[in-house]
Amino acid sequence: MLAKRIIPCLDVKDGRTVKGVNFVDLRDAGDPVELAWNYSNQGADELVFLDITATVERRKTMVELVKAVARQINIPFTIGGGINEIADADALLNAGADKISINSAAVRNPKLIDELAAAFGVQFVVIAVDTRSIGDKNVVHLNGGRLPTERQTLEWILEAESRGAGEILLTSMDHDGTKGGFDNGLLKTVNDAVHIPVIASGGAGKVEHFVDVFEKTNVDAALAASVFHYGEILIPDLKRALQSNKIEVRI
């Protein structure tokens, strides 16, 4: 059995790490390069950096940040935000990123997934999906969660997988920042339906939530932000707790 991964997520705006609740009310959480170094030393398995306003403000993701992070850490990291074409991804890969994450651009142009997978390999392509429950459906949202689409979440994820997505980063906007636990029902439905790794995102508030998400959904990885940024959960403590619950992790 593969070890489960613990992944801190750094939402970056104007060169600083920020965190909000339900994708709004952002507050500062520190320097992303310093945080990356700290998480690497704590035993994080991977990192995800999301330039959360790149798509909205039509900016390109920060190549300079990627270079700075790559110089400081020796664990894999993914970067997303404002990636619209092969050249954007190529620049990030050359700067030191291990994977790229696309969200809005993929929904608007699904063929981009095919192109990225063909150019770099499926292991390079993470599809981030921001979803919110509307009525009895889970609906994909774009532009940092601001824009609902016509796409239903599971249907879109299955299409993304068929086009060459190597991994799904699934964020429940209803749970994001609430610290009330992951959306285990949705995560299990998605994880049971796909053959690629799923990263759970949105709602982590305490160690038990990580135990629950792995036990109840069998996802490959769990991602969180504020509980790590503000020192509410330390990664070594979290991994020891997971281990004591017979969940395999890298110590």
Catalytic residue (choose from 11, 45, 176, 183): 11
Grouping H, G, I as helix, E, B as strand and the rest as coil, residue 216 is helix
Query: Does 183 participate in catalysis according to the annotation?
Result: no
Phi then psi for 152, rounded to 5 degrees? -80, 145
How far apart, in Å, are the Cα atoms of 29 and each of 34, 113, 127, 179, 249? 11, 32, 25, 16, 26
Could you give the angle at the alpha carbon of 10 between the alpha carbons of 5 and 12, nearest 5°?
155
Query: Does 130 participate in catalysis according to the annotation?
Result: yes
Which amino acid type is present at position 48? V
* Residue 85 CA from chain centroid, whole number: 20
Token pair, residue 110, equals: 């699904």
Catalytic residue (choose from 51, 88, 130, 183): 130
Instruction: Kindly write down the DSSP assignment for every residue of 64-105, as one continuous string.
Output: HHHHHHHHH--S-EEEESS--SHHHHHHHHHHT-SEEEESHH
- The set of catalytic residues is 11, 130
